[in-house]
Amino acid sequence: MSGERSRTIKVETLARVEGEGALYVKLKGGQVQDVQLKIYEPPRFFEAFLRGRHFSELPDLVARICGICPVAYQMSAVHAIEGALGIPIDPGVRLLRRLFYCGEWIESHALHVYMLHAPDFLGYPDAMAMARDHRSAVERGLRLKKAGNRIVVFLGGREIHPVSACVGGFYKVPSRRALLELADDLNWALDASLATARWIAGFEFPEFEQDYEFVSLSHPEEYPFNEGRVVSSRGLDIDVSEYEGSFAEQQVPYSNALHSTIQGRGCYMVGPLARFNLNFDRLPEVARQAAHDCGLQAPCRNPFRSIAARAVEMVFACHEALRVIREYEPPPAPRAEAAIRAATGQAATEAPRGLLYHRYALGPDGLITSAKIVPPTSQNQSRIEEDLRHFVSGIASRPVEEITWKCEQAIRNYDPCISCATHFLRLHLEGG
């Protein structure tokens, strides 16, 4: 109607580096007309240029997709190839891979909780401003991240784009004694993660819930890292090899990233909150207690509480890393091998931000003939838009600065790889 006030919120530039995008929200008469999370980062064509490369190059190539979760890309890739070629994994290698993942979760979650998301809840524009009043908390976050980095460096040779993982295992594995050197750091990190959960318990969370379909891996005995079936809160329960029969990727005209949906049902959520809700009973007691301490109960449908789920997962990752260090026995050989043949393999693992699916087809010479990679941020995109659509409706009467701030916070609930940019949004208000 002509008398209704129309407002358009445009966030035009999300910074470069790991993700480039923008946010567009159109309001009319207090109602949300349209929401678009535009990811205009140029496509990097990984799936295309992997074709023709030998599978042994894969772990080092896909690690380059992400600077903060290269371990996840390496793990999904090696598991897919190992599945294709029927390569058995030694229990010692399996434990080391869990430890590798623990390191990545700790560093990624610590960065997001302390540097990117906590300032939203405490009313600061960024971590630098927050550090003036919360120095000890920030120091704890930095040291936690360092503890995670140390594991990745220990196993992977360097903290970003590690180089040790290979199909069948690792190029080199540590001795049991060497691994024990990480224990002091991790004992401290476990206490610090518990302190993180208690710190978050004091935050105020917006009252906002949605009827999500949560999706994650599920393993009968473990909180998932590398293995499990793909399950959802609405009854999906499939082998990873059936993933593409249940999930679809769609192109939208305003984004260079594909949107994933569950066929016939629509958008869904992956990530810490989904994992927590679907695997709560497989968390160790210390992590369940941490959840209780920060007021997080499964099922939790408030996405703003994902910061608490990350804190609980840090507790889990530290506890799990210590378990691995206690139980580790070096494998007889760093890696297993198998005859090369034409084959196809799929795998999904749990990146810090959620389920990461890979599929590769190999020719008889071991060269990759096709590749498919579905990252967690792509899977969450539609869900983020849906959250914004409902969330903005409830705050549409507020000043545009406040709406923008809240939208950014809501986007950061998902820790997308474009979250770097959401701290530097430029906003224009049109209409009136």
Select from 5, 12, 43, 129 the one that contacts other proteins (CB under 8 A).
129
Residue 342 to residue 20: CA distance in whole angstroms? 37
Does 201 bind other proteins (CB under 8 A)? Our answer is no
Q: Which segment (32-40, 133-141, 278-286, 367-375) binds other proteins by CB under 8 A?
A: 133-141
Least distance in angstroms from the C-beta of 415 to other proteins: 8
Least distance in angstroms from the C-beta of 155 to other proteins: 17
Least distance in angstroms from the C-beta of 126 to other proteins: 8
Omega of the bond prior to 272 within 30 degrees of 0, cis?
Answer: no
Least distance in angstroms from the C-beta of 89 to other proteins: 29
Residue 17 to residue 37: CA distance in whole angstroms? 17
In the structure encoding, which two tokens stand for residue 207, read together? 């009252």
Residue 85 to residue 90: CA distance in whole angstroms? 15
Select from 5, 54, 135, 292 the one that contacts other proteins (CB under 8 A).
135
- 36: helix, strand or coil: strand
Does 421 bind other proteins (CB under 8 A)? Our answer is yes
DSSP 10-35: EE----STT--EEEEEEEETTEEEEE
Closest C-alpha to 104, from 284, 423, 338, 356: 356
| Per-residue DSSP letter, 211 | -
Residue 107 amino acid letter: E
Q: Which segment (2-10, 79-87, 313-321, 414-422) binds other proteins by CB under 8 A?
A: 414-422
Does 145 bind other proteins (CB under 8 A)? Our answer is yes
Q: Are 215 and 205 in contact (CB under 8 A)?
A: no
Size of the residue set binding other proteins (CB under 8 A): 33
Half-sphere exposure of 84 (CA within 13 A, CB side): 29
- 165: helix, strand or coil: strand
Select from 127, 283, 317, 410 the one that contacts other proteins (CB under 8 A).
127
* Interface mask toward other proteins for 8-27; x: CB under 8 A: -------xxxx---------
Q: Which segment (135-143, 169-177, 274-282, 381-389) binds other proteins by CB under 8 A?
A: 135-143
Residue 199 amino acid letter: W
Q: Which segment (22-30, 98-106, 124-132, 332-340) binds other proteins by CB under 8 A?
A: 124-132
* Interface mask toward other proteins for 152-191; x: CB under 8 A: -------xx-------------------------------
Residue 137 to residue 143: CA distance in whole angstroms? 10
Pick 16 or 176: Cβ nearer other proteins: 16
185: left (phi over 0), alpha (psi -120 to 50) or beta: alpha
Residues that bind other proteins (CB under 8 A): 15-18, 44, 64, 67-68, 111-112, 115-116, 126-129, 131-132, 135, 138-139, 142, 145-146, 149, 159-160, 417, 419-421, 423-424
